[in-house]
Amino acid sequence: MTQLGHTGIDVFPLVLGGNTFGWTSDETTSHQVLDAFVAGGGNFIDTSDSYSAFVPGNSGGESETIIGSWLAARKNRDSVIVGTKVSQHPQFKGLAPATVAAAADASLARLGTDYIDVYYAHFDDPDTPLTETIGAFDVLRKAGKIRTVALSNYTGARITEWLDISRREGYEPPAVLQPHYNLVTRQPYEREIAPIAVAEGIAAVPYFSLASGFLTGKYKNKQDLAGGIRQNIAGQYFSEAGLAVVAVVEDIASARGAEMSTVALAWLRGRPSIVAPIVSARTLEQLPALLASATLDLTADETAALDEVSARIG
């Protein structure tokens, strides 16, 4: 277990992503994955009120509903840390105070709980004054509906602005950041967000830790993705420099007798500002390699080789 920044919350150093629930995994499989994650020591689950509105036929909230039915069936709410997000649900777009309040209540209802452990502003909302959004999060925190304020996809400048307003107005500052960060996407996280996380003691839990599957090595070329569900996201990582990273991950994995996904996640967990990478598993079979990353410590030479090859990507 490791500390989630200054929240006082202990978390397993790998977070289970929930965007697969109700998208690439049905409810039964999702519950199996959740059971296996917890059996493997995991306790922190990531979702959003908007998952997975982007799937034809869905309206958003499907992932929270599946997590809610699992929490109810297992009666384990107190031992699980639930993170969810606001601003992207089709009915609750943006971060105006009334939207945040209504979206939080809708998330609580779907999750079947009366508190959210980690509540993220999912994306910045330039149309709502930051001070109003921060006030809305503070109302939720004071009401006991959320335990921790968190930010995802914010620029370094806007995180700093949020921190400054919190200090000035006496609000609880954000304690968790959720950036896009992995071996093939090191910027802008390392340049503009990691320094803030380190200086402020804020926990960073990155998403797309496996670059949507690209770092598992299962896609040898773009044709392997053609027509697939991950074509658009994983496809963006294909480049000569990206494939060079995959090759080094593969070398280390074969030398260590580990899966490539285990190595890619272990590198991320070893970064100084990272508390726990977020990763999702579509199937039960994918999970053991992911859990194994929590106990795989890369050597200094392995880390240096990955640092060097991944730094070649702009």
Ligand X SMILES: NC(=O)c1ccc[n+]([C@@H]2O[C@H](COP(=O)([O-])OP(=O)(O)OC[C@H]3O[C@@H](n4cnc5c(N)ncnc54)[C@H](OP(=O)(O)O)[C@@H]3O)[C@@H](O)[C@H]2O)c1
Of the candidate residues 7, 19, 113, 133, the single one contacting ligand X (CB under 6 A): 19
By the rule CB under 6 A, 20 interacts with ligand X: yes
Number of residues that bind ligand X (CB under 6 A): 30
- Which CB atom, from 24 or from 131, has the smaller least distance to ligand X? 24
By the rule CB under 6 A, 261 interacts with ligand X: yes
- Picking from 54, 57, 59, 66, the residue whose alpha carbon sits closest to that of residue 17 is 66
Q: How far is the CB of 142 from ligand X (least distance, A)?
A: 25
- Which CB atom, from 226 or from 300, has the smaller least distance to ligand X? 226
- Picking from 134, 38, 123, 40, the residue whose alpha carbon sits closest to that of residue 82 is 38
- Which CB atom, from 148 or from 286, has the smaller least distance to ligand X? 286
Q: How far is the CB of 213 from ligand X (least distance, A)?
A: 4
CA gap 104, 141 in Å, rounded: 11
Rg (CA), the chain: 19
- Measured at CB, which residue is nearest to ligand X? 17
Distances (CA, A) of 207 to 114, 122, 218, 261, 311: 26, 12, 19, 14, 19
Q: H-type helices in the chain, by residue range? A: 27-39, 62-74, 97-111, 130-142, 156-169, 194-200, 231-235, 240-256, 260-269, 287-291, 300-311
CA gap 71, 164 in Å, rounded: 36
By the rule CB under 6 A, 46 interacts with ligand X: yes
Structural contact between residues 70 and 90, judged by C-beta atoms closer than 8 angstroms = no
Candidate ranges 15-23, 103-111, 239-247, 293-301; the one touching ligand X (CB under 6 A): 15-23
Q: Which residues contact 244 (CB under 8 A, 6 or more apart)?
A: 309, 312
Contact letters (x/-) for ligand X, 263-302, by CB under 6 A? ---------------xxxxx---x--xx------------
By the rule CB under 6 A, 65 interacts with ligand X: no
Touching ligand X, residues 67-106 (CB under 6 A): none
Contact letters (x/-) for ligand X, 227-256, by CB under 6 A? --xx--------------------------
Q: How far is the CB of 131 from ligand X (least distance, A)?
A: 23
CA gap 233, 147 in Å, rounded: 32
What is the binding site for ligand X (CB under 6 A)?
17-20, 24, 46, 152-153, 178, 207-213, 216, 218, 229-230, 259, 261, 278-282, 286, 289-290
